[in-house]
Structure 1
Amino acid sequence: MATTADISKIEVSTGIYWVEIPQADLRLLCGCPEDSVKHLMRRGLISPRSTDGVEYESGPNAILLSDTMLQNGAFANQAEFPVLQMLYRQGMLIPGHPNNTGRKPLLIGSPQQVSAQLAYIHRGNYGLLSEAEIRATGMDAVQARELFRMKLAFSFGKLEASEELLDALILEHNDWHEIRAGVEIRRLQLSRFEIRYRDQSLEVDLNLKRFQRYWSPYPLGFHEIKRAYFSVIHSGQGDGWDVNRPSMSSVLCFQGRIYLIDTGPNVVYSLMALGIGVNEIEGIFHTHCHDDHFSGLTTLMRADHRIKHFATPLVRATLFKKLAALMGSEQEDFSAYFEPHDLIFDQWLDIDGLEVKAVLSPHPVETSILFFRTFWDGDYRTYAHLADIAGLDVMQRMINDDPSRPGISQALFDKTKAAYLEPVQLKKIDAGGGHIHGKATDFSQDRSERLILAHNYAPLTQEEKVIGSSAPFGIVDVLVPDYTDSQRHLAEGHLSHLFPELAASQFKKLLNNPIVTFKPGSLILRAGVLSNAIYLLTTGNVEVIRSDAERIIILSTGGMIGEYSGLYDKPSAETYRSISYVHALALPADSYLEFVRSNDLYAEILRLHDNRCFLKTTWLFGESIGPRLENLLARNLRDSQLARDPQTGLLTLPPERLYLIQQGRISKLLNGRPIKQLEAGDFFGEEFILQQNGRGFSYRAEGEVRLKQLPARLLSQAPVVMWKLLESHRETLASCLH
């Protein structure tokens, strides 16, 4: 902790700082990535308080935003929950509360980031903002009126603008600006600030180092999950305030495919603990847009394929408008990252044997509860996921059939209650209580076989324990068991992608080898050791560690360990260490060698190996790239010779290509002025792929350079690559502005 007599700074977590000046009554949260509130709670910076018998929490009263929207692929600014904590849990908005002094939460930052946060928080509070927006999703006028009346009932009759709830301090250029009571702040560099009070000052740097990550506030351990034919893996039981558990969510496993229900904060940490890679996700089912169910969507935009997104048009419009507000983009842009699939309210949709039905659920934002089923052994086996429901007593008080007034109709109440209490084999419910969450007692007569209570941060009461069960992280409920060899089936699929030119019959001999398991933290292959086996990962994640590299590369399912060492009888250049539980097909090196020789694959494997090694040295492709995408890129990576102006050294860039520097240096210029030096492993030309029309950028070779190129059409199919290109481009633009 940095401290002086009047001002102190605490590093809360990576990229999150706390600056406090008691004499000015200023408590400044610096940096607010996902789950920053939980980090503050863990450090005791948010804690229970009581004044005149009123219980509330302490916490920040201002937020300093990063100048850049993205930091190493993750959103640096997600202020929704910190703001909610100030307004409601501290009491700054509650009438008659001792903390309701007229002072509002304060957002501090660049004009772009403050504007984006205000718009994103507004969407997070209210979702769609008018009957016209609701009708644009396909609802008729009567339905739109009903839904908007419901929204007004939850919002006490009015949708407040974010500016009415929050104050903002815009940091222009590098000038000093007063926060309050003599405390001043100025920007030193991009996302680096100086704060001073009286004759004392300190600096806050919100920039992450190149390969740093924001941390999860809770440990989860590691779990070995058997993937059943149809099962529910419980990946979150808490809410946005639970410091020990992820927010309410589930992972569905169906016929070997992985689906997520909602994407809360730190979803990648949860998946890693379960031995699931991001690139394994087949699809996402979304209930609504609150951050504790939404934040992880930004992480999944970094998958190596377009993940299928299942939601009603009503819910998806809310999600994508909120995401567009956060990014300062258009909601139509997100079809580049996800593959939309519409759910229709009250209708079953068949997804290759898995059926899903969405039912409208009253809530301040557009929300669906979801039912999943498959037919097995003469009957349907059904799972119901009831996230962010409302208590029956709350809805009853809202009943009002006058279409001109806020409220819900008696018909909607009756339909909702019947859907909530529909008996199924397995049901998970929001039992968080309060104005916008469900109550366990509403389900005391529910005839479902197993009822799980979730979306709470306190332990279950005695009364709740009689009604329903808890489900610790990693617990699996199997609805239909799997009697096939799923691991071997996964291995066959991976081999077909590794060797697309070969028939499936060519893999039979390789598949007739054992599936082995590695516990978390196991050394699978050490650097400098000759490998006598080659491992094809079927599930789990593995670290690839090089002593001369500054980062750790993650190898996910479909990747090969020891291939080059085994084929060429050379010691491994890397160490491979399991992160989670890992399952792999163990191939004897001599058997694999015979397979390669008999199919004349030597030359192509060597070319692909060299290209993969080069891609791994780059920031753009060195992490989060699954083996399928990596092999596709390696097959299409080619040497490039660009024309150069003999006078200026400026390069002529043909369109529809991305260029990577293998050797040498290139200067990036904006309107003829050098702004960035690019070296080996860097890339250029992204503004053309992002359709930014160049924006005055040009490139000059500094001496001899060796370049590689990739076609843009491949990159546009890889969300993780497009996401990183966007991050790099926006960071460049932001640095030019500041």
Structure 2
Amino acid sequence: MGLIEHKKIAPGLYWVSIPSRKVFLQAGCPADSVKHLIKHGVIRNQANGGALHETGPNCLLLSDLGIQNGQFANLAEFTMLQMFYRQGMLIPNHPGYSKDKPVMIGNPEQIKAQLDYVFRGNYGLIDENELVEAGMPREQAMEMMRLKLKFAFGRIQATHDLIDCRHLSDDALDIGGGVLVKRTGINKFRISVEQEFIDLDLNLAPHEAYQPTYKLNFQRFAPEFFSVIHSGEGDGWDIHRPAMASIICYGPDVYLIDAGPHITHTLRALGLSLNSIRGIFQTHGHDDHFAGLTELMLGDRKLEYYSTSVVRHSVNKKMQSLLSVKFPVLERFFTIHDLAPEQWNNIDGLEVQPSYSPHPVETNTFQFRTVTENGHRTYHHLADICSMSVLQRMIEPDQQKPGISLQYFQRIKDLYLQPADLKKIDIGGGMIHGQAEDFQGDRSKKIILAHTADELTPSQLSIGTRALFGQIDHLVKSHIDNRHEVAARSLHHYFPTVPFSSFYELLNQPIESLEPGSALVRQAGHAQDIFLVLSGIVAAPKSEVPFGLEYVAGYLVGDDPDCPLHQLISKSFAEILRIPRRIFDSFLERYNLKESFSKNISRRRMLQNSDLFQSIKWSPLLNKIAKSVYEIQIKDQQVISHFTGHFVFILETGHLSLFREGYAEELKPGQFCYEDNVITDHAPLELQLKALENSRGYLIPHVVLKDIPAVEWKLLETYKRRSQAIQKAPVLHKNAS
């Protein structure tokens, strides 16, 4: 029998076990990697002296790349928590206690990023000054720091004191017991012991994505005027359900509460896309509520971000740590709305009141309400709360010591027990979560119990119930059809110079519903019509057309004459507005739009097939961008040192070499470069272009890209990948030779 046991767990995630050397290695650390290890039986309960504790990794090999295909590649928070507490590696007298610290292996940049990010995930803002800078009054900041220190057992501890960090550089690294780890390429590694070895590749394929551990059934999206969709009831360890979350529907607007891992997977099951979402309410920055934020950056417009300033600052510092950047990430990719805490804030008629809730990091509860003729209808969302028994033990009259006051305890108890028409609560238990028994006397009309992977007990079911995925609670019935408002907004996005009142002839058409798997065109006579997707996803089978032919809410289908309408099917429950071709053409002619609408179609196709715009294909934004590009002809063997100004270059035809001393890569049609022109002012990559044949491409001004979060995110991801490759190129070349 060999010394090394290993298997691929999921894209970008491997398990390597070398029992004889007591090395149990997790290679790769995408979101929900712990859940995948649980699902595959790698992490399981084990009896030791009559006590149960979990098995699992004691070593973690990080990806060289912090971002892959728009998703975070390294999210070590829950992996470290599993090692620290569920395995018990850092708990004295625990059956899993080890004098050896968990080992983290990787390049220095990624290790530093992970240490900083785990640190922020443990503590959030770390002193009174940071809280005050985030907008909290000094007296309240002192109160919060007392609470934080109580959760932290009296002191804020640096993460590097808890983890054995091993920098992987040029040579093979011994991680213990004669087990060697060696980098053989960017994100490629060899694990060896004695004469045995295995090779691991943590790179994702161009269109591959990290996956959740669960499958969600398609649900029909059918809210009323004020509705709550239950989109997550689990916790960070639940392999069967998304983490605790909800979706608020108010009029035509859709809002998320938190964005856990694989949030777009959740949205697709509900027939929603990023274009369907107006904004997100953020409770706090733990990974099971935070890790999906990057997926919300892959749309063609900025979503609105609602939270208190203190929570926003906490989340932003964690995001900066992950990305190793200093600029305010949330402000760059979202439209920020800081909500006043402990007050009602008006958002176009929907009122929301955030309140600070005790947790190791800054956390909000949210109360939502809207007025009706019979008074307010209310929804309270209480994620990551604290049990009354734990809080009671924290009461400490001496204000110089960690703890809370009796008055603070009573204030939080009153907050949690405020009655609502609908209330969702965290019952995860333990030191930092709530318990159902605290709500035994709650006068709310309906209570949803969430944030647990366990089955509910009879005692808990006497207090509340568990919601199924996609279940909807309607709080206020709708007497208007909001779908036409959604359609009008989408048309205005395409035709911004046309007033809303001029869309009536387009809107006065039938709205058709599609079941999953249904053909878009069901009658031969409709094959020339235009379709506006209102909800759901319409796409072509991958076997029929190149990957990525997909239309989501807000997109017109059929405006491109080469669109294969007959091949398109619904990938979820969907609703579409069918606009007869004659009416659509008449509309274009009436407002002198026909020529401008069609003349840039070849450039738009070039853009939509490029790597840079792969997340926003067929968006109306591409029409605007197509008008702003500058064509560049590069003759065979011609060398271009640099393009001055804030431009990104996309290659349309031909082949180019992108190079500098010690580094070269081939640029193929659809690929882009010079992202360093717009991402950074202090660390340009200093790359040159050389034509390997006659080539043509386009310069795109950054001014037309800077407010498109998906493009900004792709530029940042590519810059980090290229800078990492340039840094490692001489070493890898030396090793290869």
**Shorter-chain TM-score range:** over 0.9
1:433 alignment partner in structure 2: 429
Q: Identify the range of structure 1 (517-526 vs 78-87) with the bigger mean alpha-carbon deviation.
A: 517-526
1:719 alignment partner in structure 2: 709
Code of the aligned partner of 2:645: P
Deviations 1:336-368 (A, max 9, x none): 111221122211111111111111111111111
Could you tell me which of 655, 658, 665 is aligned with 2:648? 658
Deviations 1:360-410 (A, max 9, x none): 111111111111111112411111110001001110110112111010011
Q: Indicate conservation of the 8 Å contact 1:545/1:552, yes or no.
A: no
Alignment of 1:58 with 2:48, yes or no, is: no
Normalising to structure 2: TM-score of the pair? 0.95
Deviations 1:201-241 (A, max 9, x none): 01010001111111111001110011321111111000001
Alignment of 1:632 with 2:624, yes or no, is: yes
Q: 1:490 to 1:138 in 2, by over 3 A?
A: closer
Flag structure 2 segments of 5+ consecutive residues without an equivalent: 729-737
Code of the aligned partner of 2:160: E
Deviations 1:237-276 (A, max 9, x none): 0000111000001111112111111111111100111111
Q: 1:63 to 1:647 in 2, by over 3 A?
A: closer
Code of the aligned partner of 2:715: L
Q: Indicate conservation of the 8 Å contact 2:306/2:337, yes or no.
A: yes
Describe how 1:299-318 pairs up with structure 2 within 5 A.
Answer: 299-318=295-314
Aligned mates of 2:543, 2:588 — CA distance in 1: 30
Aligned mates of 2:646, 2:633 — CA distance in 1: 14
Code of the aligned partner of 1:55: L
Aligned mates of 1:315, 1:626 — CA distance in 2: 35
Q: Secondary structure at the match of 1:523?
A: coil
Q: Indicate conservation of the 8 Å contact 1:382/1:424, yes or no.
A: yes
1:683 alignment partner in structure 2: 672
Alignment of 1:83 with 2:119, yes or no, is: no
Alignment of 1:291 with 2:282, yes or no, is: no
Q: Indicate conservation of the 8 Å contact 1:687/1:729, yes or no.
A: yes
Code of the aligned partner of 2:669: A
Q: Identify the range of structure 1 (256-265 vs 540-549) with the bigger mean alpha-carbon deviation.
A: 540-549
Aligned mates of 1:529, 1:284 — CA distance in 2: 41
Q: Indicate conservation of the 8 Å contact 2:229/2:470, yes or no.
A: yes
Aligned mates of 2:157, 2:52 — CA distance in 1: 26
1:100 alignment partner in structure 2: 97
Q: CA deviation at 1:564?
A: 3.4
Alignment of 1:8 with 2:5, yes or no, is: yes
Code of the aligned partner of 1:584: I
Aligned mates of 1:104, 1:499 — CA distance in 2: 59
Q: 1:505 to 1:332 in 2, by over 3 A?
A: closer
Code of the aligned partner of 1:588: P
Q: Indicate conservation of the 8 Å contact 2:527/2:565, yes or no.
A: no
Alignment of 1:587 with 2:576, yes or no, is: no
Code of the aligned partner of 1:165: L
Could you tell me which of 261, 269, 273 is aligned with 2:257? 261
Aligned mates of 1:484, 1:626 — CA distance in 2: 30
Could you tell me which of 724, 729, 732 is aligned with 1:734? 724
Code of the aligned partner of 1:657: F
Q: CA deviation at 1:673?
A: 5.4
Q: Indicate conservation of the 8 Å contact 2:557/2:563, yes or no.
A: no
Aligned mates of 1:60, 1:368 — CA distance in 2: 33
Alignment of 1:708 with 2:698, yes or no, is: yes
Q: Identify the range of structure 1 (585-594 vs 542-551) with the bigger mean alpha-carbon deviation.
A: 542-551
Q: 1:691 to 1:168 in 2, by over 3 A?
A: closer
Alignment of 1:47 with 2:39, yes or no, is: no
Q: CA deviation at 1:711?
A: 2.0
Q: 1:574 to 1:158 in 2, by over 3 A?
A: farther
Q: 1:626 to 1:419 in 2, by over 3 A?
A: farther
Q: Identify the range of structure 1 (590-599 vs 99-108) with the bigger mean alpha-carbon deviation.
A: 590-599
Aligned mates of 1:35, 1:557 — CA distance in 2: 28
Could you tell me which of 115, 123, 126 is aligned with 2:123? 126
Aligned mates of 1:556, 1:514 — CA distance in 2: 18
Could you tell me which of 351, 354, 369 is aligned with 1:355? 351
Q: CA deviation at 1:308?
A: 1.4
Q: Indicate conservation of the 8 Å contact 2:172/2:181, yes or no.
A: yes
Q: Secondary structure at the match of 2:278?
A: strand
Alignment of 1:144 with 2:135, yes or no, is: no
Aligned mates of 1:306, 1:571 — CA distance in 2: 27
Q: Indicate conservation of the 8 Å contact 2:637/2:690, yes or no.
A: no
Q: Percent identity?
A: 39
Q: Identify the range of structure 1 (528-537 vs 199-208) with the bigger mean alpha-carbon deviation.
A: 528-537
Code of the aligned partner of 2:699: Q
2:363 alignment partner in structure 1: 367
Aligned mates of 2:397, 2:14 — CA distance in 1: 50
Q: 1:574 to 1:695 in 2, by over 3 A?
A: farther
Aligned mates of 1:148, 1:637 — CA distance in 2: 51
Aligned mates of 2:326, 2:136 — CA distance in 1: 22
Describe how 1:11-22 pairs up with structure 2 within 5 A.
Answer: 11-22=8-19
Alignment of 1:170 with 2:167, yes or no, is: yes
Code of the aligned partner of 1:52: G
Aligned mates of 1:444, 1:664 — CA distance in 2: 70
Q: 1:647 to 1:559 in 2, by over 3 A?
A: closer
1:696 alignment partner in structure 2: 686
Aligned mates of 2:629, 2:324 — CA distance in 1: 35
Q: Identify the range of structure 1 (556-565 vs 112-121) with the bigger mean alpha-carbon deviation.
A: 556-565
Q: CA deviation at 1:556?
A: 1.3
Aligned mates of 1:603, 1:196 — CA distance in 2: 63
Q: Indicate conservation of the 8 Å contact 1:557/1:626, yes or no.
A: no
Q: How many residues align?
A: 726
Normalising to structure 1: TM-score of the pair? 0.95
Code of the aligned partner of 1:638: V
Q: CA deviation at 1:429?
A: 0.5
Q: Indicate conservation of the 8 Å contact 2:123/2:361, yes or no.
A: yes
Aligned mates of 2:620, 2:480 — CA distance in 1: 24
Aligned mates of 1:334, 1:382 — CA distance in 2: 29
Aligned mates of 1:111, 1:11 — CA distance in 2: 25
Q: CA deviation at 1:546?
A: 6.4
Could you tell me which of 605, 608, 614 is aligned with 1:622? 614
Q: Indicate conservation of the 8 Å contact 1:554/1:624, yes or no.
A: no
Describe how 1:313-392 pairs up with structure 2 within 5 A.
Answer: 313-392=309-388
Q: Indicate conservation of the 8 Å contact 2:223/2:472, yes or no.
A: no
Q: CA deviation at 1:279?
A: 2.8
Q: CA deviation at 1:69?
A: 0.4
Q: CA deviation at 1:625?
A: 4.7
Aligned mates of 1:23, 1:549 — CA distance in 2: 50
Q: Secondary structure at the match of 1:317?
A: helix
Q: Indicate conservation of the 8 Å contact 2:123/2:156, yes or no.
A: yes
1:272 alignment partner in structure 2: 268
Deviations 1:412-458 (A, max 9, x none): 11111101000111110001111111010100100011111100110
Code of the aligned partner of 1:710: I
Q: CA deviation at 1:313?
A: 1.5
Q: Indicate conservation of the 8 Å contact 1:80/1:121, yes or no.
A: yes
Aligned mates of 1:599, 1:713 — CA distance in 2: 27
CA RMSD of superposed structures (Å) = 2.1
Aligned mates of 1:12, 1:404 — CA distance in 2: 49
1:473 alignment partner in structure 2: 469
Aligned mates of 2:36, 2:582 — CA distance in 1: 51
Deviations 1:611-655 (A, max 9, x none): 332122111112345724333323x343423799x9962255231
1:215 alignment partner in structure 2: 211
Alignment of 1:38 with 2:35, yes or no, is: yes
Aligned mates of 2:716, 2:324 — CA distance in 1: 12
Flag structure 1 segments of 5+ consecutive residues without an equivalent: none
Q: Indicate conservation of the 8 Å contact 1:553/1:622, yes or no.
A: no
Q: 1:22 to 1:592 in 2, by over 3 A?
A: same
Q: 1:687 to 1:381 in 2, by over 3 A?
A: same
Aligned mates of 2:97, 2:453 — CA distance in 1: 25
